[in-house]
């Protein structure tokens, strides 16, 4: 009788373990797509491990778990994206509780067979704009234009201590008639007048120099200049 009881317990335990397979195993396939950029490498990760899809669109077989699955994707051209998919309890797990009891349910939860992820996921990709290169300021262009010719400056003519600019156009030399030439007396008088004018100019120049150097004041300068001009 005792032997029959032992055999019954062993048979019940074997039946409970067999019922744990009702939930269709502890692995599943997940397909991943990336948008708007394809050809990304993606890593899928949960507490059971990590799996890689070399290029999207693609799929891989993962181990199911109670934890959510994170998916991180990137491309060599700078596109990046990530998402997470929820782990849900598989409907067959409830049937396993009925058929296999608490032992079968515990086995499925431990192996991940009691859970299920969505069969596909879409990862939205974004790309960071490339930094703009600094544009160097344009170098100033050298002035290659020819300089404008300067106008001829009229010659300065000193007259009685003052400088006058002769801006009248030069007249062509003409022959003076003999009748208009001055006589000897007129020439001597003109020479004397030129001598007097030269002396007056020298005195006025000396007076100007004394005033510029501050030796005499403005009042004396004006009075003395009037006296010299009246003596002509």
The single residue listed with the structure tokens 């799929």 is 59
Q: Residue 226: which domain range?
A: 156-168+180-230
Is there a single domain that holds both residue 122 and residue 185?
A: no
Is there a single domain that holds both residue 109 and residue 71?
A: yes
Residue 13 in domain: no
171 vs 191: which has the higher pLDDT: 191
Residue 101 in domain: yes
Residue 135 in domain: no
Is there a single domain that holds both residue 91 and residue 189?
A: no
Is there a single domain that holds both residue 110 and residue 40?
A: yes
Is there a single domain that holds both residue 26 and residue 82?
A: yes
User: What element of type H or E holds 41?
Assistant: strand 41-46
Is there a single domain that holds both residue 160 and residue 210?
A: yes
Taking the mean position of all CA atoms in its chain, how far away is CA 159? 68
Q: Residue 118 in contact with residue 83, Cβ under 8 Å? A: no
Q: Which two tokens stand for residue 4?
A: 């029959």
Is pLDDT of 15 > 50? no
Is there a single domain that holds both residue 111 and residue 201?
A: no
Taking the mean position of all CA atoms in its chain, how far away is CA 106? 61
Is there a single domain that holds both residue 96 and residue 193?
A: no
pLDDT band at 124 (very low <50, low <70, confident <90, very high): very high
* CATH (domain of 109): 2.60.40
Is pLDDT of 210 > 60? yes
The pTM is what? 0.45
Buried b (16+ CB within 10 A) or exposed e, 130-169: eeeeeeeeeeeeeeeeeeeeeeeeeeeeeebbeeeeeeee
Is there a single domain that holds both residue 121 and residue 38?
A: yes
Is there a single domain that holds both residue 38 and residue 95?
A: yes
Number of domains making up the chain: 2
């Amino acid at each position: 009788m005792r032997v029959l009881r032992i055999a019954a317990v062993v048979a019940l335990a074997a039946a409970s373990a067999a019922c744990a397979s009702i939930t269709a195993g502890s692995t599943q396939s997940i397909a991943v797509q990336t948008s708007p950029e394809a050809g990304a490498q993606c890593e899928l990760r949960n507490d059971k491990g990590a799996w890689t899809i070399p290029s999207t669109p693609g799929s891989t077989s993962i181990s199911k778990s109670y934890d959510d699955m994170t998916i991180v994707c990137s491309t060599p051209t700078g596109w990046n994206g990530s998402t997470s998919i929820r782990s849900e309890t598989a409907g067959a797990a409830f049937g396993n509780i009925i058929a296999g009891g608490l032992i079968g349910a515990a086995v499925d939860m431990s192996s991940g067979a009691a859970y299920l992820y969505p069969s596909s996921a879409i990862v939205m990709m974004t790309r960071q704009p490339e930094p703009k290169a600094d544009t160097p300021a344009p170098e100033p262009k050298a002035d290659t234009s020819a300089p404008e010719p300067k106008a001829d400056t009229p010659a300065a003519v000193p007259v009685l201590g003052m400088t006058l600019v002769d801006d009248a156009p030069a007249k062509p030399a003409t022959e003076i008639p003999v009748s208009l030439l001055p006589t000897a007396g007129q020439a001597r008088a003109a020479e004397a007048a030129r001598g007097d004018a030269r002396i007056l100019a020298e005195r006025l120049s000396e007076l100007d120099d004394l005033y510029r150097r501050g030796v005499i004041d403005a009042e004396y300068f004006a009075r003395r200049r009037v006296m010299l001009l009246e003596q002509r």
